[in-house]
A and B are shown apart, each in its own frame.
Chain A
C-alpha cells in the first residue's frame, strides 16, 4: 500500500473512533444517572482517563521511534555516495533540471534551490501520486535523495505558491532503466 493510502486509512480509523465514542456518549446523555451511579461513574472515568493517558503515551513513544529512528530527511552536509546528481532550480515560472534523465535502481541526489521566490519541488509518479518532495528556497540548497524503482515519465510540479504562473510550473524527468545490465 502506498503511503498516502496508509495515511488516509489511519485518518479514517482515527476520526471514526472519535466519532464512535462521541456517538456512544451522546446516546447516553439526557438519561441522568442516580446519584450513587454517578459517583461510581466519576471514579471509573478517572481510572479510564489514566488508562487513556497510558495508551496515548505508549503510542507516542512507539510511533516517534518508528518514524524517526531512521531520520526521513537526508543529511544536508558532507558527501553522500549518490552516483547521480540532478540540479533543480525553480524560478517564476519554470524549472531548470540538469540532467533531465536519470536511471532507476540507484539513488539520485536532487540539489534543489530557487532563483527568485520560494517554490516547492514535488516529484509525481506516472500514476499521479507524489513520491517525495522538498522546498526550493532562495539562498538555500535542499538535498533530496530518492531511488526510483520504476522507469517512466515523472512530473516535477511546483507545490509552493509563487505567483500567477504557479499552477503550470512543471517539468518532466525521464527515468530510464540502467544501461549496463
Chain B
C-alpha cells in the first residue's frame, strides 16, 4: 500500500537522477507550449483568422501530431520512472538514453518537415509518404520515419530495462500484474499499483512498438526499393496497432501519478483490490486488441475484426469507470483533502479520462462511425482525455515535485487563476471539436467552408485560453524545478500528508 507521507524520503532525486528528470520535464512542458501554439495556429487557420497556406498547414499538422504523441510519451515515461524506481531497480542510463533518442528522433522529424517539406502526417499511411506530388521527396519521408523509429527505440529500451527490473523483484510479468490473485488468495497489500500499471505498459506497448518498427522498416524498404510494394490494408493495421497503443500507453503511465499521489493528498489509504487487478488484467488484453476501431470504415477488413473493434472499445470503458475513476472518487469522498494544485489536477485528470471515454465509446460504434469517422469528433474525443486527462496527470506530478522541493504544496495566486482557465479552456476546446464532428466538419483539413467556422472560432478562443494557462504552468514548473535548491530536499519526508 502506498504510503500516506506527502514527500517520502526515498522519493527524493539525487544528482544524475534529478538532472535527467528535470531535463525530461522541462523539455516536455516547453514542447507542450510550442506544439499547443502550432495547434492554435491550425484552429485559427480553419476559423479563417489566419491565412496559413495548405502546404504549411499540413506540415504543422504533421509536426503537431507526431510531436504531441512523442512529448506525451516522454512526459508520462517520466511519471512511470519517478514512481517505479521506488519499487524496482531501474538503470539511469536507460532512462537517459530514451531522452536522447527522443531528441534525436524529434530532430529528424523537424528537419524532414521544415527542411524537406514533409506533410504526410504522423500516420505515414502507405503509400502517401512516397507520393508527395513534388512537395516532399521520398528521402524526406524516410527521414521522418527514421525519426519515428528512433523515438520508438528509446521507449523500447526504457521498457526493457523496466521489465528486467520488475522481473527481478516479482519473478515474471504475470505475477507483477497480480494474475495469481485474480481468482483467490490473499492479495499482498503492499503490491504496488505502479508495478501493475507499468507491467501493462511494458507488455502492450512493446508489442505496439514492434508492430510500428515492422511497418516503418517495410515503408523504408519501399522508399528505397519502390518495386517492393506493400499491402495498404496490412500497413494501415500495423500503423494503427502501433499508434493506438503508443498513445494509450501514455494514459496508463500517467495514471500511476493518480494512484500514488491521490491518497497522500486525501490522507486516506487507497488499498489494492481484486477488482483493481481484474481491471488491469483485462485492460492489458483490451489495449492490445482494441485498435481495429480505427478501421471500421475499411469495409474490406474481415467482419469479425470490425466487431472486435466495437465490442472492445465499449468494454475498455469498464476498467476506467469501475476501478480508476470510481476508486479515485471513493478515495476522495469525505476525505481530509486540502485543495492545492496537485490535488486539483489529480481529480481533474480522473474526470478528463472518464468523461473523455464517453465520446470515444460513441465513435467506436460502427453505426455512429459511419457518419463520425474522420470528422472533428475524433480529435474531440482524444483531445478530451489527453488534454484534460493525461496532461493533467503529468502536471499534477510536476506541481507535486516542485512542492516537495520547496517543502510546501504550491498554490500561488497565478495557479489558482491558471487552473480554472485551463479547465474551462480545455472543456470548451474539446467540445468545439465534438460540435464540429456533429456538424460533419472534416478533421485534417486546411481549407474550411464558411459554415464550418463557427465551431472553429470557439475552438480557437478556447485553445488560446489553454495556451495561456499552460504558459503560466510551464513557467512555474520550469522555474520551480530549476531554482529549488537540493539542500532543501533533505528532510522533506517529514512533512505530513494532511499538514
Residues of A within 8 A of B (CB): 3-5, 7-8, 10-11, 14-15, 18-19, 21-22, 25-26, 28-33, 37-38, 41-42, 45, 49, 52-53, 56, 60, 63-64, 67-68, 71-74, 76, 92, 116-118, 120, 122, 124, 128-135, 137-144, 157, 159-168
Q: Which residues of B contact A21 (CB under 8 A)?
A: 329
Q: What is the chain A residue whose CB lies nearest that of B273?
A: A46
In the complex where A32-B335, A73-B303, A164-B58 touch, is A132 in contact with B371 (Cβ < 8 A)? yes
> Scoring B residues 247 to 285 as 1 if CB is less than 8 Å from chain A, else 0, what string do you get?
000000000000000000011000000010000000000
Give the top 9 A-B pairs by smallest Cβ distance, nearest first. A14-B358, A33-B334, A142-B299, A167-B447, A159-B374, A140-B300, A8-B438, A32-B336, A161-B444
CB distance from A56 to the nearest CB of B (A): 6
Known interface pairs A4-B438, A41-B334. Does A11 touch B362 (Cβ–Cβ under 8 Å)? yes
Bound complex: CA A133 to CA B371 (Å): 7
Residue B10 at the chain A interface, CB threshold 8 Å: no
Kindly state whether residue B410 has any CB partner on chain A within 8 Å: no
Q: Which residues of A contact B190 (CB under 8 A)?
A: none
Q: Which A residues lie within 8 Å of B367 (CB)?
A: 3, 67, 72
What's the Cα separation between A76 and B133 when bound, in Å? 32
Give the one of A19, A129, A139, A141 with max B CB within 10 A. Answer: A139
In the complex, which residue of chain B has the Cβ closest to the Cβ of A63? B314
- Complex Cα–Cα for A46 and B335 (A): 17
Q: Tell me whether B236 is interfacial, beta carbon within 8 Å.
A: yes
> Hey, which chain B residues are within 8 Å of A161, CB to CB?
58, 61, 121, 123, 125, 128, 444-445
Out of A41, A130, A144, which one reaches B371, CB within 8 Å?
Answer: A130
Docked complex: B342-364 residues within 8 A CB-CB of A: 347, 350-351, 354-355, 358-359, 362-363
Q: List 18 A-B contacts (CB under 8 A).
A: A7-B368, A7-B371, A15-B358, A28-B334, A29-B337, A30-B338, A32-B334, A52-B322, A63-B365, A64-B314, A67-B310, A71-B303, A72-B366, A92-B133, A130-B440, A137-B232, A143-B299, A164-B54
- Give A23 to B318 CA distance when docked, in angstroms: 21
Give Cα distance in the complex from A134 to B371, angstroms.
Answer: 10
* Chain A residues within an 8 Å CB radius of B165: none
Q: Which residues of B contact A131 (CB under 8 A)?
A: 371
Give CA–CA (A18, B311) in the complex, Å.
22
For the complex, give the distance between the alpha carbons of A10 and B54 in Å: 34
Tell me which residues across on chain B come within 8 A of A25, comparing CB atoms: 329, 332-333
Contact of A118 among B125, B275, B377, B440 (CB under 8 A): B125
Asked if B128 and A68 sit within 8 Å, CB to CB, the answer is no
Contacting pair B133 A164 (CB below 8 A): yes
User: Known contacts A22-B347, A29-B266: does B447 contact A168 (CB below 8 Å)?
Assistant: yes
Return chain B residues, CB-CB under 8 Å to A37.
Answer: 334
Residues of B close to A166: CB separation below 8 A: 58, 444-446
CA of A60 to CA of B337, assembled, Å: 35
Residues of B within 8 A of A45 (CB): 330, 333
Interface size of B by CB at 8 A reads: 83
B493 interfacial contact with A, CB 8 Å? no
**Distance in Å: Cβ of B430 to nearest Cβ of chain A:** 9
Please name all residues of chain A whose beta carbon is closer than 8 Å to the beta carbon of B374 when the two chains form the complex: 120, 122, 133, 159-160
Cβ of B55 under 8 Å from chain A: yes
Query: Is B218 an interface residue when CB atoms closer than 8 A count as contact?
Result: no
Residues on the A chain within 8 Å of B333, using CB: 25, 28-29, 41, 45
**Given A28-B333, A73-B303, A164 and B368 contact (CB-CB distance below 8 Å):** no
- Assuming A3-B370, A49-B322, what are 8 further A-B pairs, CB within 8 angstroms? A7-B371, A32-B335, A38-B334, A53-B318, A72-B366, A116-B127, A116-B131, A118-B125
Report whether A18 and B336 are in contact in the complex, using a CB–CB cutoff of 8 Å. no
Given known A29-B266, A63-B314, A135-B297, contact A18–B231 (CB-CB < 8 A) = no
Q: Does B326 contact A (CB under 8 A)?
A: yes
The CB with the most chain A CB atoms within 10 A, among B121, B311, B362, is that of B362
Give the chain B neighbours of A4 by CB distance below 8 A.
371-372, 437-440
B338 to A, closest residue via Cβ: A30
Most chain A CB within 10 A, of B135, B326, B363, B371, is at B371
Name B297's closest neighbour in chain A (CB-CB).
A135
Instruction: Specify which of A29, A137, A138, A139 is in contact with B334 (CB 8 Å cutoff).
Output: A29
Task: Tell me whether B307 is interfacial, beta carbon within 8 Å.
Answer: yes
Between A29, A30, A68, A120, the greatest number of chain B beta carbons within 10 A of the residue's beta carbon is seen for A29
Residue of B nearest to A5 (CB): B438
Give every chain B residue within 8 A of A5 (Cβ-Cβ): 438
| B112 is an interface residue with CB less than 8 A from chain A | no
Pairwise interchain contact A124-B440, C-beta atoms closer than 8 A: yes
A140 with B233: in contact, given A11-B359, A160-B374, A166-B445 (CB under 8 Å)?
Answer: yes
Q: A52-B322, A143-B299, A144-B299 are in contact. Are A167 and B368 (CB under 8 A)?
A: no
Per the bound structure, the CA–CA distance linking A10 and B127 in Å amounts to 37
**A-contacting residues, B427-453, CB 8 Å:** 434-435, 437-440, 442, 444-447, 451
Give the Cβ gap from A46 to chain B, nearest Cβ, in Å. 9
B355: chain A residues at CB < 8 Å are 14-15, 18-19
- Shortest Cβ distance from A123 into chain B, in angstroms? 10
CB-defined contacts of A29 to chain B, threshold 8 Å: 266, 332-335, 337
CB of A43, distance to nearest CB on chain B (Å): 11
Interface string of B286-317 (1 = CB under 8 A from A): 00000000011111100100110011001101
Contacts of B434 in A (CB 8 A): 8, 11
The answer to whether B371 and A128 have CB atoms under 8 Å apart is no
- In the complex, whether B407 has a CB less than 8 A from a CB of chain A is no
Give every chain B residue within 8 A of A117 (Cβ-Cβ).
Answer: 125, 127-128, 131
In the complex, chain B residues 71-120 whose Cβ is within 8 Å of any chain A Cβ: 119-120
B375 on the interface (CB 8 Å rule)? yes
CB neighbours (8 Å) of A134 from chain B are 297-299
Interface flag for B454 (CB, 8 Å): no
Return chain B residues, CB-CB under 8 Å to A129. Answer: 371, 439-440
- Closest chain-B Cβ to A105's Cβ sits at a distance in Å of 20
Given known contacts A117-B127, A130-B371, A167 and B446 CB-to-CB distance under 8 angstroms: yes
Min Cβ gap B431→A in Å is 8
